[in-house]
Amino acid sequence: NKRVKIKTILDQNPIGSELTIMGWVRTKRSNKNVTFIAMNDGSVITNYQVVADPNLISEDVLKKCSTGACLKITGTVVESQGSGQASELNAISIEVLGEADPEKYPLQPKKHSLEFLREIAHLRMRTNTFGAVFRVRHALAFAVHQYFNNKGFFYIHTPIITASDAEGAGETFKVTTLDIANPPRTEEGAVDFKQDFFEREANLTVSGQLEGELAAMALSEIYTFGPTFRAENSNTTRHLAEFWMIEPEMAFYDAEDNADLAEDFLKYLIQYALENCMEDLKFLESRLLDEEKSKPADQRSELGLIDKLKFVLENEFVRITYTEAIEILKRSKPNQKKKFQYLIEEWGADLQSEHERYLVEKHFKKPVILTDYPKEIKSFYMRQNEDGKTVAAMDILFPGIGEIVGGSQREERMDVLLKRMEEMNIPTEEMWWFLDTRRFGSTPHAGFGLGFERMVQFVTGMGNIRDVIAFPRTPGNAEF
């Protein structure tokens, strides 16, 4: 008998067929006459009920069918007597593929806290919550490629190892093969990177944007989707040291085209999840409701997860400039409880997450596209506006998340770009390859970066970014 996935059985309801399933035991209940085994193979959130008759299946085998064990079960699909499911499997034979000692297996059939599950990230995918999260994550990743493919964008694989620091924030992880305890030295005593593998200093990429720009200057519309690395303080619920970013880059787009694309893209991803992941979303919504019950009434969210997703789909994002946002923040009343101080004193200050949350969650109650930030708080490559003070930057802020997208129209004018790089102490000689795009056939272009995990967080409602990536990399955490 060929293996059939539980999802296939649920979809096709093949009453009367004899077939084989393989998967892991979630729970087992027995009485004198019968043993019920709830099986899960990850294809779907539902645990499939197997009915085992102790006259057919030996006591020794049934004993080994404990939570966590891996089984191969052949049986007949019959209509289910109990509620819930259309069918169940009457076992003809059970083979124990891998036992799981109940004394030692860390996952018991009860609720475990997310904190506890983070400690056993190698096993947590076997829970309903993480099964749902990773199926939704997969669906979103697939939808990313589908969206851009439909639009005729080309997927470019930009390098993971590079010598550039695209964001210029100096938060890179170094890549070296030198013996760090005893590196080769130049005559002056400095570390001699000429003897390193790449014959220079190198690091893990913080963004594929600069290479993406090179590609857009040839293929017009491209995107990257790869891991990026930042050695910043990532001890928050929104930061990882290793995260995945989607970065479209488009020749001939201006700032408005860029914002239109970003809004359309985010809505497409949400729509895709609603159309393809409803069972998992319903489960995630119910676990959020449980979580909310333990919160004080005024901190509970007004909408359930699915309604929240639909709300974002059905409403236009608010588009305002940084300057307008500052005016709103200045007018806002400081929070009575002093928990948040929304007031911002000065034009020019970077927005803190409480400012972003005020705009999105309290003031507009909608996703916000914030544009035209002061040039001092943004990267060198952003296009300068006529006012000489602001750049054509764009951040998209989401409720519960804050910044989910960062992007801009790029500075395509060689003289303006060179001047800005010099002002910001960016070595122009080292960036000759980047500047060549402005030297030869330059054109207006734009792009943005979507933090994939923040998007998965928004769609799944998971509060901590560590719970939407299989093996989170955060300070002090790189074991497996």
**CB-wise, 283 or 373, nearer to Mg ion?**
373
Task: Rank residues 100 and 391 by Cβ distance to ligand 4AD and give the closer one.
Answer: 391
**Is 451 one of the binding residues for Mg ion (CB under 5 A)?**
no
Burial class for 31, CB neighbours closer than 10 Å (0-12, 13-18, 19+): exposed
Residues that bind ligand 4AD (CB under 6 A): 166-167, 207, 209, 230, 232, 234, 239-240, 243, 245, 247, 403-407, 447-449, 451, 453-454
The minimum distance between CB 393 and Mg ion, in angstroms, equals: 9
Q: How far is the CB of 320 from ligand 4AD (least distance, A)?
A: 17
Residue 477 beta carbon to Mg ion: minimum distance, rounded to whole angstroms: 23
For residues 48 and 243, which CB has a smaller minimum distance to ligand 4AD in the complex?
243
Could you tell me the smallest distance in angstroms from the CB atom of residue 145 to Mg ion? 23
Q: Which is nearer to Mg ion, 68 or 406 (CB)?
A: 406
Question: Residue 230 binds which one of ligand 4AD, Mg ion, none, with CB within 5 to 8 A depending on kind?
Answer: ligand 4AD
Beta-bridged to residue 455, according to DSSP, are: none
Q: Which is nearer to ligand 4AD, 135 or 410 (CB)?
A: 410
Q: Which long-range contacts (CB under 8 A, 24 or more apart) does 305-312 make?
A: 305/281, 305/460, 305/461, 306/274, 306/281, 306/282, 308/399, 308/461, 309/270, 309/273, 309/274, 309/281, 309/459, 310/274, 312/266, 312/267, 312/270, 312/366, 312/367, 312/398
Binding site partner of 451, from ligand 4AD, Mg ion, none, Cβ cut-off 5-8 A by kind: ligand 4AD
The identity of residue 331, as a single letter, is R
Nearest approach, Cβ of residue 153 and ligand 4AD (Å): 14
Strands 445-451 and 221-229: unpaired
Q: Pattern of binders to Mg ion over 394-413, x per CB under 5 A? A: ------------x-------
For residues 196 and 453, which CB has a smaller minimum distance to ligand 4AD in the complex?
453
Q: Which does 234 bind (CB under 5 to 8 A by kind): ligand 4AD, Mg ion, none?
A: ligand 4AD
Least distance to Mg ion from the beta carbon of 401, Å? Answer: 13
CB of 451 to ligand 4AD, least distance (A): 2
Q: Identify which of residues 49 and 390 has a Cβ nearer to ligand 4AD in the complex.
A: 390
Give the nearest distance from C-beta 241 to ligand 4AD in angstroms: 7
Nearer to ligand 4AD, 65 or 393 (CB): 393
- Residue 326 binds: one of ligand 4AD, Mg ion, none (C-beta under 5 to 8 A by kind): none
Applying CB under 5 A, the site for Mg ion has a residue count of: 1
**Residues binding Mg ion (CB under 5 A):** 406
